[in-house]
Amino acid sequence: MHTDAEQMLAQFLDQLTVEQRASEHTVKSYRRDIKQLSRYCKDKLIDQWNKVQQSDIRSHIASRHRQGIGSKSLQRELSAIRSFYNYLLKKHLADINPAQHIKAPKQARKLPKTLDVDQVNGLLEAGADSILEIRDLAMFELFYSSGLRLSELSALNLADLDLPDRSLLVRAGKGGKSRVLPIGSKAVKAIENWLSHRLSIVTATESALFISTRGTRLGQRSIELRLEQWCKKKGIVEHIHPHMLRHSFASHLLESSQDLRAVQELLGHSNISTTQIYTHLDFQHLAEIYDKAHPRAKKKLE
């Protein structure tokens, strides 16, 4: 691409950071996705962004799909390209948004893997043998009790908890949105137990709810590893990751309440279609019960 084109991209990314306060992760993703388009343009001898046509975007996405890039990733790339061209249009540096009506190839939606209630109970009632395991149990109880994302749990501060009210505040969920969530009685008890030990290892200035042995905030990767270690030590063969506890929270709550909107709000989903995937899990469960229990489904007719 021409030097001017490279400068336009740099200015767009600066605007994302300064004006829109996008996260570092988002800016990196946008840069990577638009650089993919830039490589396509270079191969096609296109040296300016305003020379890119709809057919070029369609051809670029088709090429990426042939390389094995999944539908979700392609949707993200198209979103980045659309945002970039919307910026160029506002600056009068482009006449059209060539990605506006281009759609990524559809992909079959994978159902999230969940644990059943007995599996969750087995995981959370395995018993804690040390201060670190007391902390870990509080984390795992909170994952399942409130349906938190891994990033949300890691970011929790002590001030975000209101244990008398049995609630917590997620200050910056996905998309920068905050929400208040209930905490179940088992999780409250586990957290209170952890807080009685937290004082012995916390540094003077650390505000994080969950901390390492160094007294500082526990990172996301460390939380994942602690769950792996917990399962291994407790003899749980199945590979369980933090998001499985969030999925299980959603599935079990929806199965009991049948209130899709409430589950959407608790999970912090901006679009209800994201939450609807759990209705498929619920139907799958009902279908299994049907196959086992219905007289006409038990055995094949001869």
Task: State the catalytic residue, choosing from 149, 226, 247, 252.
Answer: 149
Structural domain of 225:
117-241
Strands in 179-182's sheet, in edge-to-edge order, are 161-162, 167-170, 179-182
pLDDT digits (tens, 9 = 90+) for 135-171: 999 999 999 999 999 999 999 999 999 999 999 999 8
pLDDT digits (tens, 9 = 90+) for 89-140: 999 999 999 999 888 887 666 667 888 888 889 899 988 889 999 999 999 9
Asked if residue 121 and residue 19 are part of one domain, the reply reads: no
Asked if residue 125 and residue 84 are part of one domain, the reply reads: no
Task: State the catalytic residue, choosing from 30, 40, 144, 278.
Answer: 278
In contact, 275 and 245? CB cutoff 8 Å: no
> For this structure, is 186 an active site residue?
no
Is residue 99 in some structural domain?
Answer: no
**Residue 283 pLDDT level (bands cut at 50, 70, 90):** low
Asked if residue 125 and residue 31 are part of one domain, the reply reads: no
The number of domains in the chain is 2
Phi–psi pair at 169, nearest 5 degrees: -110, 120
> For this structure, is 226 an active site residue?
no
Task: State the catalytic residue, choosing from 51, 113, 166, 243.
Answer: 243
Task: State the catalytic residue, choosing from 135, 217, 226, 269.
Answer: 269
Our measurement of the distance from residue 209's CA atom to the centroid of its chain's CA atoms, rounded to an integer in Å, reads: 20
Asked if residue 55 and residue 142 are part of one domain, the reply reads: no
> For this structure, is 243 an active site residue?
yes
Is residue 251 in some structural domain?
Answer: no
Task: State the catalytic residue, choosing from 166, 174, 197, 241.
Answer: 174
**For the domain that residue 127 is a member of, what is the CATH number?**
1.10.443.10
**For the domain that residue 54 is a member of, what is the CATH number?**
1.10.150.130
pLDDT at residue number 281:
56
Asked if residue 83 and residue 144 are part of one domain, the reply reads: no
Asked if residue 141 and residue 216 are part of one domain, the reply reads: yes
Is residue 285 in some structural domain?
Answer: no
pLDDT at residue number 302:
41
pLDDT at residue number 21:
86
Is residue 249 in some structural domain?
Answer: no
Nearest in space to 149 (alpha carbons), one of 219, 218, 244, 216: 244
Last residue of a domain, one of 219, 241, 263: 241
Nearest in space to 135 (alpha carbons), one of 165, 156, 114, 162: 156
Asked if residue 124 and residue 71 are part of one domain, the reply reads: no
pLDDT at residue number 104:
84
Asked if residue 214 and residue 134 are part of one domain, the reply reads: yes
pLDDT digits (tens, 9 = 90+) for 45-86: 999 999 999 999 999 999 998 898 888 899 999 999 999 999
Task: State the catalytic residue, choosing from 135, 198, 246, 247.
Answer: 246
Question: Quick one: tokens of 96?
Answer: 């059209």
Is residue 18 in some structural domain?
Answer: yes
**Where does residue 167 fall: left (phi above 0), alpha (psi -120 to 50 degrees), or beta otherwise?**
beta
> For this structure, is 269 an active site residue?
yes
